[in-house]
Amino acid sequence: MSVCNVCFRHCEIEEGKTGFCGVRGCVDGKVVAKNYAKITSLALDPIEKKPLRRFYPGSMILSVGSYGCNLRCPFCQNHEISWSESAMRFLEEADELTPEELAECALRYKAHGNIGVAFTYNEPLIGYEYVRDCAKLIHDRGMQVVLVTNGTAGTEILTELEPYVDAMNIDLKGFTQHYYRDVLKGDLDMVKEFIRYAVTFCHVELTTLIVPGENDSEEEMQQISGWIASLQDRDHTRIGEEIPLHISRFFPQFHMLDREATDVGLIYRLKAAAEKNLKYVYTGNC
């Protein structure tokens, strides 16, 4: 039995089994990422779809995804490859793309406006070893590396990735322990610590999906934006007011079909509330 240290769960994994994420398993007494180089999704996207609005705007980026996740968001838009029953089938069915092949693929698309690679769609950090190995080669080719992540990972993982990651969009899904623990099966404190670390070494933008009846109050948005505004760099200079926040509209899907899509007017009211603390606030899915 081995212990995985990627996230707060610290899963104790028996030989031949996998942890909560469905990806990290015990092989010969060591924890390994069983989704290493297994690719379920590959697309050339506008950078704004990550979403990143203030990082190489107008450019394209090669987006790559694998399978598995360490949260259980009941509204997941990528549930086919994250934590549904079908997601686990990709262990056998997914195509393999070595780090060298991915880096070369990114380079080939440079002529089409590609600036690098975004690790996205599922949670990339449950297979951080692949991200690390690819990112080194992508940087060697003079291209950018982006992570789109739920931020549910320890800062020791970020330490390994720090030299090679240029930008992140991190989900800050809400601001209550109840929402993170009971609805998402996550840990708010770990996400906050992850964000605090990330803003000290790369470009960061944050996303909050507004789910009716869960995290949709102006009071909570004021708490979220106020906390973001307080963030500091390594010199203890306050930089949080400059961090972009994306406020996105929820649509019923997957296991959360019991409520309507978020009211557009509410999204804009929450945007106005956040703008009292932050310089750059964007709406999504409106």
Cα–Cα distances in angstroms (integers) from residue 133 to residues 5, 36, 54, 62, 236, in the given order: 19, 10, 26, 16, 31
- The DSSP bridge partners found for residue 118 are 63, 146
User: CA–CA separation, 4 vs 186, rounded Å?
Assistant: 16
Residue type, 261: A
Name 243's Cβ contacts closer than 8 Å, sequence gap at least 6: 199, 204, 205, 206, 228, 231, 278, 280
What is the CATH superfamily name and number for domain 35-284? Aldolase class I (3.20.20.70)
Q: How far is CA 219 from CA 242, 270, 274, in A?
A: 21, 9, 10
- Tell whether the model's pLDDT for residue 87 goes beyond 70: no
Residue 86 pLDDT > 90, yes or no? no
Ramachandran angles phi, psi of 75, nearest 5°: -110, 15
The pTM assigned to this predicted structure is 0.96
Query: Token digits for 83?
Result: 């934590």
Nearest to 150 by CA among 195, 181, 200: 195
Report the alpha-carbon distance of residue 268 to residue 125 in Å, rounded: 32
Distance from C-alpha of 72 to C-alpha of 223, rounded to nearest angstrom: 24
Token output for 124? 């990339």
Confidence class for position 94, pLDDT limits 50, 70, 90: confident
pLDDT of residue 235: 95
* pLDDT per position as a tens digit, 166-206: 999 999 999 999 999 999 999 999 999 999 999 999 999 99
